[in-house]
Structure formats: structure tokens, C-alpha cells
Chain A
Amino acid sequence: MNRRNLFALAVATLTISLWLGVAGAQQAAPATGAPAVAAEAAKAVDAANATAAAKPAEAGVSKLAAAIAKAPRGTEPGMIDETKPTGFLGIPGAPNVSIILAFAWAVWVGWIFSTVGAFGGVMAGVGHMSVFGFGNYAGGLKKTAPELGKIVTDSIKASNQFLVGTSAAISSFNYLKMKRLVLPLAISLGLGSLIGAYGAAALSAGKLDFKSYQGYFGLFVLFLGCWLFYQTTPGAKSKQKTAKAAAKAFEDAVKKQKCGEKVEECNLGLHINKFTMSTCDFTFYGVPFHFNPLVPFLGGIAISAVAAFLGVGGGFLLVPFLTSVTQLPMYLAAGTSALAVLVSMVTSIITLISKGTPIEWHLVGIELVGITVGSIIGPMTSKYLSDSLMKRIFILLSLYIGLGYTLAGFAGIKIPGV
């Protein structure tokens, strides 16, 4: 089977699983969060058309509807106030995010993606949790309606992952199309990612309260901030300088070789010489490489589990992991991680949805429009801003947000603005 067929097979498998997953999810969670009154009015217009196509429906009660029904009624915080209009996920009294706010925040996220980089993913999460008020709402349900609180938390997580993971998956797809794929590595990494993403999503779905999620997300952001800060220290800069000097020395040496030596065709590309459960030997441009397939398998489990648990993409961790552990060339690592990122994201979202986690598609859609607009504005404005200043601002921001979320999640201490 050639790579083209393999690629087509992978897409077909994912499509079918997505199809089946969503169908299963609709059995578990038919509610989508649209205002019930508007839905009734609209359906009345086409009742004849719709019912003619319809078969007798089973009146199933969704997990969300059951959790709403179970929650105590009243006007106190943490209770369902049925006199208030429906908000997030169609819950009466839940925060109702205005389209303008959702769009404006997403423009900011898109702007960060196109200027500063992956920190946009963190900001997408901050939007759902803090700016739109979903976090506070879910946190307030912890004692009165824990089941509903956990469903709202899962929905926040799935929305985060959708916004962050799609970019990694689509970017990785481009590298996959270049046909730079180490099949044994893709299989072990993909299998690990499948297990990790499914395990984390299945084990945490409906069990993670918002405070815990906020704490773990905060730890992740704090770690990211510390890592970015470390990159600016003299020690890290010196290491980077050494690497850059080695790279420059080689570049100069290549420039001096003006003979244009031809490379033997048989030495070009990738040749797998041996693949067993514990050894993979291959040559790339004639240079031998060796790795233990168990390492990417275990790495795939760990990275995908973390990504699925936190609702973040995994691509930004997978590529450095592959290049450092297997020492694979960047293009090969990026291409190989494509399947892993895609498998991880699709598995995690499908697992969450099939466990009855509802997603507000219209909110995700509005946010995607905002990210599109923000990423158009980004390159236009970035020339007026200093890269190093931006980096410092975002290091401070990630340290502050990370610390704030960790303290709020694990110690119940709130710091201003988070």
C-alpha cells in the first residue's frame, strides 16, 4: 500500500469515526444550546417538511438535560433560575456571551497566533474560562449541581481543543502531503496518541470539576511561562548561540564548496532497514538512525493524554519530542507527527462528545471568524511592534495567568484580573 492510499485510508477512517461519534453524541446530547423558544418558532414554519422526512423518534433525555433537571431551582448562585433567559449550552441563567465580545476576543486570539505564536491557544482558554464567565459559572455549580458543572467544564475543554488543535492538525497536514512520513514511527506514535487521548478524555469526561481543571490548566500555563522565561536567560541564550554558531559555520563551509557535488540518487530519502518491537533502524541521506519504537509510543501516550486532559493541541510538544528523542530531521518529525496530532485531537473531541459533552457550534464558529480576522490584522501590525518586547509582555502575562489559575484552582485564592 503506498503512502497516498494510506493517507486516503486514514482520512476515510477518521471521517467514519467522526461520523459515528457525532451520531452517537447526538443520541447522548441532542441539545445544542440554541434558544429553545426560537427553535420552536422556526420549527413550526417547516413542521410539515421536517415531519414528513422523519421517522418515529425515540424521546431520549440528554446528559445535559438530565443534569439541568437535577440541579436545584432558585435565584441563589449555583441554582437554575428558570425566569432568566437561556445562556451557554441553553442553560437558563448561564452566561450569555454577546456575539461582539466573542468575536472581539477571538480577533485578539488570532492576532496573537499570527504575531507571537502558540500563546494564542492559552488566550483562547482564558477567553472561555475568564472573559466569557463560563469558568465562574461552572465553579459556582460545584456544590449545588456538580454534574452540570462538570458538563460545562468538559464543554469548555472541548471548545478550547477545537480552537487550538485544528491549526496544529492543518499545519501538520501540509507536511504529511510532502510525503515525509516514517511509517513505523507514525504507527507507534499514532497508536500511543490514540490510547493517550482516549484514556484521558474518557477518564476525565464528566468527572473533572472546574476548579481542578483551572488548576491544572494554570500549571500548564505557568510551565509555559517559565520555559519562555528560561529561553531569555543568559544560559539558554548561550546554548542557542552555540547551536547557531555551529549552524553558521556549516553554512559558510557549504558556501565555500562551489563544486556542486552531486548526491547519489540511491542515498536520497528514507530507507527503513529493520523494524521490530524494540528496534527501528533506518537511513536518511545515507546516514544511519536508530530508535526504540516503544519510546515514541510512550511519548505519544503521555503527550496526547496531557493535551486531551487540558484541552490543548499536542503538535507543539510532539515535534520537539521527536526531534530530540529520535533526532529525526525536522520535516520528517513534522510529517510524522501529523497523524498523531490528528488522531489525538479527533479521538479526544469524539470521546468527549460521545460521553454527552455538548458543544456550542455557533460560538466556536464566531470565534473561528474572529481568529481569521485577527490573523489577517496581525502581520499588518507586527511591523510596528518589537518582537523582544512582545515576547517579554507575553512571558509576564503567562506567568501571571498561570499563577492566578493555579492559585484559584488549587488554593481558592483569587488574584485580580484572573
Chain B
Amino acid sequence: MTPFQIVDSLLIIPFRQPGSPEAGLLFGIFLLALLSAGLGIACSALVGRMHRTRQLREDGEAHKRSELSFQALQSGDKKAYLAQNHLAQEAYGNTMALSAGRAAGLLWPACASLAWLCWRFEGVPMPFLWSSAGPASYFLPMFIGALWGLSRLKRKIIAAPPA
């Protein structure tokens, strides 16, 4: 068995669990979306951890410049405001480029799952949807929903006081 066949045989298991094929398909896609979102959040957090020092530096610079620009606004010094704002924008550009790794970490599992789903269910119409709908029609909303739910859960766990 090739590694792909092993992964394929594992991923298809939830699709066969419930009795009805429709329920099996929805359950399988839901689990896959949940798994992709969880893996994506974990990878993104890992990249964020590796970037922490640089991210803090760039974010700190952007924040500092932004705060100074607000103070310049308060004191009515528009020239100083524009200068600080320009420096804040430069720092923001650096944080934006740095986020590419986090974005890639977050999204690669979804792309991999989508590729597998499209390959596995190519040409198979989805239950309860129009004939042209493919597995992505179920997967994408479920993935976005799972990302949202897991992110909220993560925030709650982090915010919770230690027992």
C-alpha cells in the first residue's frame, strides 16, 4: 500500500459509519472540515510561535508609531502625524508579509482536503443540493464554520483561569 492509499483508506472511514449514504457523506465531510480547521489552527499557531520575536518587534513598532501619530493628532501637529503614520505603515507592511506563513499554515489542510474530496467524489452529485453541486459546496461552509468555532474555543481556553 502506498502512503496515499493509507491516508485515503483512513479518510474514507467516517463516510461509511452512519447507516444512510447521505448521512455518511455529510458526517464524513463535517469531520474532515473539523480536522482541517483544527490542523490549520495548530499549524498557524506553530508558525506564530516561531515568528513570535520578530512579530512582537514589528507589531510593537507599528503600535508605537501609531500611538505617537495619535498623540501628534491630539497636539494638532499634522506634520509629525504624517511622519509617524508613514513609519507605522512601513512596519505594518512587514507584519503583513510575515503573516503569509500563518495564512499558509491555516489553509493548507483545507486545500489538501478539498483536493482529496474533489478526486474521491468527482462527478458524484451531492444529496439535498442541485445536480451541479460538488463536495466543496458542503466542505467550504463547514470548514469556515469549524474555523470560527475552534477559534472561539481556543480563545476561551486561553482566557480561562488555571484550575
Instruction: Name A's B-contacting residues (CB within 8 A).
Output: 11, 15, 18-19, 22-24, 26-27, 30-32, 34, 38-39, 42-43, 46, 49-58, 60, 110, 113-114, 116-118, 120, 163, 166-172, 174, 243-244, 246-247, 249-251, 254, 263, 267, 284-287, 315-316, 319-320, 323, 327, 329-331, 333-334, 360-362, 364-372, 374-376, 378-380, 382
Contacts and interface: CB of A to CB of B under 8 A. Distances in A.
B35 interface: no
Give 5 nearest A-B pairs by CB, closest first: A375-B101, A27-B132, A365-B111, A368-B108, A362-B115
A250 B84 contact: yes
A368 B104 contact: yes
Contacts of A60: 132
Contact of B73 (A55, A58, A287): A287
A254 B118 CA distance: 59
B108 A243 contact: no
Contact of B92 (A39, A169, A334, A378): A334
Interface size class of B (residues with CB under 8 A): 35 or more
Contact of A52 (B21, B80, B126): B21
Contact of A247 (B21, B84, B96, B111): B84
Given A23-B129, A34-B119, A117-B94, 9 more contacts: A56-B125, A163-B104, A167-B96, A167-B103, A167-B104, A251-B84, A372-B108, A379-B50, A379-B53
Contact of B130 (A23, A170, A247): A23
A96 B93 CA distance: 35
B103 A378 contact: no
Of B95, B96, B115, chain A has the most CB atoms within 10 Å of the CB of B96
Nearest to A180: B66
Nearest to B5: A42
A138 B54 CA distance: 40
Given A170-B106, A376-B47, A53 B68 contact: no
B38 interface: no
Interface in B107-135: 107-112, 114-116, 118-127, 129-134
